[in-house]
Amino acid sequence: MARSVANARGGPRERDETDAARGEESPADRSGPPALAIDGLTKRFGEGDDAVTAVDDVSLTVERGSVVGLLGPNGAGKTTLIKCALGIVIPDAGSVRVFGTDVRDGRRTAYADVDAMLEGARNDYWRLTVRENLRYFATISGVDPDSVAARHDRLLDRLDLADKADTPVRDLSRGMKQKVSLASVLAGGAELVFLDEPTLGLDVESARTLRAELRRLAVEEGLTIVVSSHDMTTIEAVCDRVVMLSNGRIVADDGVEALLDAADRDAVRVASPDLDAETVAGLRESFEILDVDREARPPAVTVAAGGDRFYDVADALRAAGVTVSDVRTVQPDLEEVFLERTGTASDASLGGESP
């Protein structure tokens, strides 16, 4: 059954679109040094008792052409890690190499191939038009804007901004502003792009479009993208690989599918008006009950039932005289993987308050 129906957040995911793009992925240029190589990066803020270790001895390599997600709650160190990689924050220890160039030593040359969309920032000039922004920031990142005019047209086309090319950014909707910000980051042809919470504050529809576009851009433009987010949906939809951060440390680093598979928690959620306490108690004797939702209409129970165990569940339900209204498979999402890895209780879920 499709994973989409089992999404904990309710809304369907745009797996189909992004999965299609994922399938097309051509083997990216893997020659030469990796796009990003972080080694033993440590950054502390403050001094003495108040000191906070934002990033704690993190090592990470991102191959060219891959899309890597940095997942973790606010305060996990995602933004600091990105800012260190950009040279905006100077680390206390460790090194960052971008396409083989040390960010600290040869910053200027490293900058030519890197750009970033930082969380909560406008990143562009609202009083200039969309196209003026692309031209300006292409120049700032070292590219003659006339030589990439065709690329800018293509970017605007893809991001559905072509009609708005000559509109000042301030007159656009929030979702469009976010897309302009993304376009301005891509305008100079940076090959390694950091996107910090790219869908933050967007409505469901805009976030969905942006995610789909991110995936397409990564594939078609051969970009290396590092996306940080506390939103699982974004990471699952866009990334090949997830690096989970908690308290400044990496707690998991693997492919999205691998992480989900490793969680091995395939289950079915059965809904029926016949599911009373007695029936559930009966099921509990033979099966692992993961969740009982008595508030649901009709009530529902989630039973661990990977593979052929499903038939046993069905038999047991029939024996108990339960008429099933709805059955869904429940697959783990990254949130569960994350909670498992960090051992955090679910009330300390992702997306907590900023530090």
Binding residues (CB under 8 A) for other proteins: these are 29, 31-33, 43, 45, 54, 80, 83, 86-90, 99-101, 107-116, 118-128, 132, 135-145, 147-148, 150-151, 154, 168, 188-191, 221-222
Closer CB to other proteins, residue 34 or residue 332?
A: 34
Q: Which helix (H) or strand (E) holds 221?
A: none
Closest CA relative to residue 313, chosen from 294, 298, 328, 299: 328
- DSSP summary character for residue 259: H
Instruction: Please give the structure tokens belonging to residue 339.
Output: 């909670």
Say if residues 157 and 207 touch (Cβ distance below 8 Å).
Answer: no
Say if residues 13 and 3 touch (Cβ distance below 8 Å).
Answer: yes
Q: What does 169-232 look like in DSSP terms, one character per residue?
A: GGGS-HHHHHHHHHHHHHTT--SEEEEESTTTT--HHHHHHHHHHHHHHHHHTT-EEEEEES-H
Tokens 């680390």 belong to 91
Closer CB to other proteins, residue 46 or residue 352?
A: 46
Closer CB to other proteins, residue 90 or residue 296?
A: 90
Q: Name the minimum Å distance from CB 79 to other proteins.
A: 9
Closer CB to other proteins, residue 111 or residue 287?
A: 111
Closer CB to other proteins, residue 128 or residue 256?
A: 128
- DSSP summary character for residue 168: B
